[in-house]
């Protein structure tokens, strides 16, 4: 009798031990320095294959007005909250300027009025958040391709970096974010895609603060974090290495993939 | 107390251990006295792709649950109707400040505290869909979950393509996996045999039975391609490349829901598969998936 109980005890302890080892194994594997680069090695392949099929110009699906979500969810920063941004908001962004610089022949500084006079596009598209949800909205804005054509990118320009007005960190601990401003990047293919816009309108109205006023990026073949809000400065570069944490965007520096097509 | 003082008990326990040993080796309807012959059951490519799939699918399921936890709700259609999810896992705060996990399916609500909606991570209560022990990585970390998922997704597809190609080329598909009309007509009899734990012996044990053919065919050639296609449909770039993808599945959010259902079909298959492996001879089955060799009881004659 005692024999059986001991065996049972051994089995129970054995299984508990194996379970603990397996769990500890998962945790310790997750901390191995070789793991991250190994897992990340799939990203280049994924990007290459997706681009192979999507090409440079395949358009994201466009929907009808009937499909527009009654409440388009706002995510990430809902209000940049800085003194500077508030003053712009009070003046209805009349003095907001978007600069285009870096590796371009003709640096630009555009007022909102000038931006609105550029060739515009209105598109009803599906916004896909990296978290998993989707919302359909009608976006109006200037085509990025046209803005870049005005600035004339130099030959060595490979990426378009967007610097934004929303701070992501709170440096002095007062509960208000004041540093670590959001930034993102697209490559030239995605930036010059016909549906890539500097958007200033959502569902027929001026873009509101929660959705990125006065102007945000729409890159319809990419996830939401690749479409920064509160855009101020646009810089063309040949490498992402020396910008921010070197990964090409705020969330990329936190571990997210640069390729946001999946 | 000494063993010698209870000889009868000891004898009975020895008989029980012998039965358990035989059960673990040959299963529930094995006769230890039956002569057995060796049968080469699984070719090398089946064995390699099988065990690769065990690892790959485990990682895919657990990293998938991590990704699901970033927005623990499912919808139907192109977009998310946040007020009317098909399924959601949320947390409510109790009066004493503790968390209550609530899982909602359609109009039905269930208290799933500790399992779904709210569970403990390293001793701390957290708002999360699936619990930490079911996700890779354990804590909420969407970026790393995505890295695991999208790396192993390539391995899943590669492994699946290798298996399917070799299965068709070698005749394994035509011979063993392709369902026959008689598999469907014979289903009630087959289910009865399984329920009575009467597994095939002799000649009949050399090929899959009807339930096996139907199940393996469904899992490998229907659910696996479906989970890949619905996964691809969640990519906005691939939706631009292949607008037919969201069209087939009724929208990106529908595809996400079908993806989730496929994942749980895999899990259900996995559980039933393990139970059947145990009931029909744990050691004999596992050994045959490692060495290829399977022992068949000659007579028996209860079935097949």
Q: CB–CB of B147 and A59 under 8 A?
A: no
pLDDT number for residue B295 = 95
Q: Which pLDDT belongs to residue B15?
A: 86
- Measure B104 CA to nearest chain A CA, in Å: 17
Q: Residue A42: phi, psi to the nearest 5?
A: -75, -20
Domain boundaries, chain B: 31-72+135-304, 73-129
The domain made up of B31-72+135-304 has a fold known as Fumarate Reductase Cytochrome B subunit (1.20.950)
In angstroms, the CA A251 to CA A245 distance is 10
pTM greater than 0.80? yes
Q: Which residue has the higher pLDDT, A21 or A131?
A: A131
**B19 CB near a chain A CB, below 8 Å?**
no
Chain B nearest C-alpha distance from A111 (Å): 31
* pLDDT at residue A17 in the model: 52
Least confidently predicted of A91-100, A173-182, B222-231: A173-182
Q: Cα separations (Å) of B297 from B24, B43, B136, B209, B301? A: 15, 21, 42, 16, 9
**Lowest-confidence region among A149-158, A185-194, B60-69, B189-198:** B189-198
Among the partner residues B75, B144, B241, nearest to A54 by beta-carbon distance: B241
What's the CA gap between B189 and B200, in Å, rounded? 13
**Based on C-alpha coordinates, what's the Rg of chain B?**
24
Q: d(Cα B274, Cα B267) in Å, to the nearest integer?
A: 11
Q: For residue A54, what is the nearest residue in chain B, using CA coordinates?
A: B241
Q: What is the largest CA-CA distance in chain A?
A: 90
pLDDT at A110: 98
Whether A143 and A196 have beta carbons less than 8 Å apart is answered as yes
Give the dihedral sign, CA A173/A224/B256/B86: positive
- If you search the block for the tokens 């490692």, which residue do you land on? B290
> With an 8 Å Cβ cutoff, are B237 and A54 in contact?
yes
- Any bridge partners for residue A183, and if so which? A163
> Could you tell me if B138 lies within 8 Å of chain A, comparing CB atoms?
yes
Task: Extract the residue ranges of chain B whose pLDDT is less than 70.
Answer: 1-14, 299-304
Instruction: Give chain A's domains with CATH numbers.
Output: 60-253 (3.90.420.10)
Best mutation site among B132, B141, B233, B237 for testing chain A: the one with the most A CBs within 10 Å?
B237
Taking an 8 Å cut-off on Cβ atoms, the answer to whether A262 and B137 are in contact is no
Per-residue pLDDT of A215-232, as tens digits, reads 999 999 999 999 999 999
Cβ separation of A128 and B236 shorter than 8 Å? yes
pLDDT at B165: 98
Residues 6+ apart with CB under 8 A from B190: B183, B209, B210, B211
Mean pLDDT calculated for residue range A40-64? 96
* pLDDT at site B300: 53
Which of A129, A127, A228, A235 lies closest to A183, judged by CA? A228
Q: Specify the pLDDT at position B3.
A: 46
């Amino acid at each position: 009798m005692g024999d059986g109980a001991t065996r049972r005890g051994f089995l129970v302890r054995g299984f508990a031990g194996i379970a603990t080892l397996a769990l500890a194994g998962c945790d310790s594997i997750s901390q191995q320095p070789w793991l991250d680069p190994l897992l990340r090695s799939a990203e280049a392949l994924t990007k290459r294959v997706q681009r192979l099929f999507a090409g440079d110009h395949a358009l994201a699906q466009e929907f009808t007005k009937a499909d527009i979500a009654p409440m388009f969810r706002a995510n990430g920063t809902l209000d940049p909250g800085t003194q500077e941004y508030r003053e712009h908001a009070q003046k209805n962004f009349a003095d907001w300027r978007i600069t285009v610089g870096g590796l371009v022949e003709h640096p630009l500084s555009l007022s909102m009025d000038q931006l609105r006079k550029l060739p515009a596009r209105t598109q009803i598209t599906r916004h896909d958040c990296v978290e998993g949800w989707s919302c359909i909205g009608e976006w109006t804005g200037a085509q990025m391709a046209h803005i870049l054509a005005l600035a004339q990118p130099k030959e060595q320009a490979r990426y378009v970096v967007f610097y934004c007005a929303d701070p992501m960190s709170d440096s002095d601990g007062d509960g208000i974010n004041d540093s670590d401003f959001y930034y993102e990047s697209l490559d030239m293919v995605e930036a010059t895609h016909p549906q890539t816009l500097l958007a200033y309108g959502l569902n027929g109205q001026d873009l509101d603060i929660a959705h990125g006023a006065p102007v945000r990026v729409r890159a319809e073949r990419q996830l939401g974090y690749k479409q920064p809000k509160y855009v101020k400065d646009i810089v063309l570069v040949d490498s992402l290495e020396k910008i921010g944490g070197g990964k090409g965007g705020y969330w990329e520096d936190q571990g997210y993939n640069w390729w946001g097509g999946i | 107390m000494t063993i010698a003082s209870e000889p009868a008990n000891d004898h009975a326990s020895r008989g029980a251990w012998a039965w358990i040993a035989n059960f673990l080796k040959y299963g529930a309807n094995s006769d230890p006295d039956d002569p057995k012959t060796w049968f080469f059951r699984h070719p090398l490519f089946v064995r390699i792709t099988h065990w690769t799939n065990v690892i790959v699918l485990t990682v895919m399921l657990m990293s998938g649950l991590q990704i699901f936890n970033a927005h623990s709700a499912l919808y139907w259609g192109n977009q998310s109707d946040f007020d009317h999810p098909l399924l959601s896992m949320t947390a409510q705060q109790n009066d004493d400040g503790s968390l209550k996990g609530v899982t909602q399916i359609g109009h039905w609500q269930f208290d799933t505290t500790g399992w779904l909606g709210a569970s403990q991570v390293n001793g701390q209560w957290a708002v999360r869909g699936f619990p930490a022990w079911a996700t890779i990585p354990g804590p909420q970390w969407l970026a790393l979950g995505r890295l695991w998922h999208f790396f192993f997704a390539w391995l899943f597809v590669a492994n699946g393509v290798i298996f399917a190609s070799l299965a068709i080329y070698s005749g394994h598909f035509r011979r063993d996996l392709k369902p026959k009309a008689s598999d469907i007509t014979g289903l009630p009899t087959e289910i009865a045999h399984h329920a009575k734990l009467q597994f095939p012996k002799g000649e009949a044990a050399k090929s899959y039975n009807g339930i096996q053919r139907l199940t393996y065919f469904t899992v490998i050639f229907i659910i696996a391609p479906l989970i890949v296609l619905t996964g691809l449909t969640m990519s906005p770039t691939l939706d631009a490349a292949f607008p037919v993808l969201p069209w087939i599945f009724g929208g990106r959010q529908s595809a996400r829901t079908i993806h989730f259902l496929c994942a749980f079909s895999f899990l259900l298959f996995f559980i039933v598969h393990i139970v059947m492996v145990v009931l029909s001879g744990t050691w004999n089955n596992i050994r045959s998936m490692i060495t290829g060799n399977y022992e068949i009881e000659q007579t028996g004659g209860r079935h097949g």
